[in-house]
Amino acid sequence: MNKSKKTKNLLILIVLIAIVAIAVGYATLSQNLVLEGTAKTLAKSDWDVHFVTDSATMSPDATELHDGVYDQEINLQELTGTFNVTLAPGASIDYDVKIVNDGRIHAIASGTPTVAIDGSSNITCTVTPVTTTDLYTEGATKTGPDEYTVTVTCANMTELPDTAETANITVTFNYMQNHT
């Protein structure tokens, strides 16, 4: 029995040494890898889609037949534009509008521009896209500007109204972030 007890104790000691060796080996061969960093969002100031140029062209009829009867003016700031025009019957004016992206967020036209007219039913307004693209920012393949023609037309009336009619026209160009 004495010999069997010694064998048993030796076996227990070997098993304990093996367990300690396995634990030390596992601790030696396992590591924690840590990745640290920061992330931030772009600010509102990084969005910069705006008008850049303007020009106005009267229809040939207006310049030839109604010379001196009409006047025209367009003023574009970065985010808003205003135009004032007086048209004779049958005359129209085309405003060429360009929109660019100088910000850090890609942009794309969101739908077609909308036109709201309040006032005279003898005045109409249409918006025709000349070129529309994704407006990418610097560092990417820069495209643009987007170009539109805004046409304001006075109906070809045989009789003028008793008093001058005014139409208040609002053209809205919608742009949104492009994540592609």
Tell me how many domains the chain contains. 1
pTM above threshold 0.75? no
Mean pLDDT value across residues 25-33: 77
Of the chain, the end-to-end C-alpha distance in Å amounts to 81
> What is the four-CA torsion angle of 45, 169, 87, 152, rounded to 10 degrees?
70
Residue at 35 is within a domain: no
- Note whether residue 57 is domain-resident: yes
Q: How confident is the model at residue 136 (pLDDT cuts 50, 70, 90)?
A: low
CA–CA gap between residue 73 and residue 81 (Å, rounded): 11
161 in a structural domain: yes
pLDDT at 113: 85
Sign of CA dihedral 116, 95, 51, 173: positive
Q: Which stretches within 71-141 are classed as H helix?
A: none
* CB-side neighbour CA atoms (13 Å) of 97: 29
Residue 3 lies in a domain: no
The H-or-E segment that residue 81 falls in is strand 81-86
More confident residue, 31 or 150: 150
Q: Residue 73: what pLDDT?
A: 57
Query: Alpha helix (H) ranges present in the chain?
Result: 2-29, 60-65
In this predicted structure, the answer to whether residue 63 has a pLDDT above a threshold of 50 is no
Give the residue, 180 or 17, on which the prediction is more confident: 17
Beta bridge partners of 76: 81
Give whichever of 59-68, 78-87, 108-117 has the largest mean pLDDT: 108-117
Is residue 58, in this structure, part of any structural domain at all?
Answer: yes
Binned at pLDDT 50, 70 and 90, residue 64 comes out as very low
Q: Give the tokens for residue 27.
A: 């601790």
To 5 degrees, how large is the angle CA 60–CA 67–CA 127? Answer: 45
Q: Give 59 or 156, the one with higher predicted confidence.
A: 156
Residue 85 lies in a domain: yes
Is residue 22 a part of any domain in this protein?
no
Residue written as token pair 């742009």? 175
Q: What is the mean pLDDT of residues 64-77?
A: 52
Residue position matching structure tokens 């596992």: 26
- Residue among 172, 157, 148, 149 nearest 87 (CA): 157
Residues of the domain holding 159: 44-177
Task: Please check whether residue 78 is in contact with residue 50, taking contact to mean a CB–CB distance below 8 angstroms.
Answer: yes
Residues 49-61, mean pLDDT to the nearest whole number = 68
Q: If you average pLDDT over every residue of the chain, what do you get? A: 76
Residue 115 or 81, more confident:
115
- Of 25-34, 67-76, 97-106, 134-143, the least confident: 67-76
- Residue 38 falls within a domain, yes or no? no
Cβ(90)–Cβ(96) below 8 Å? no
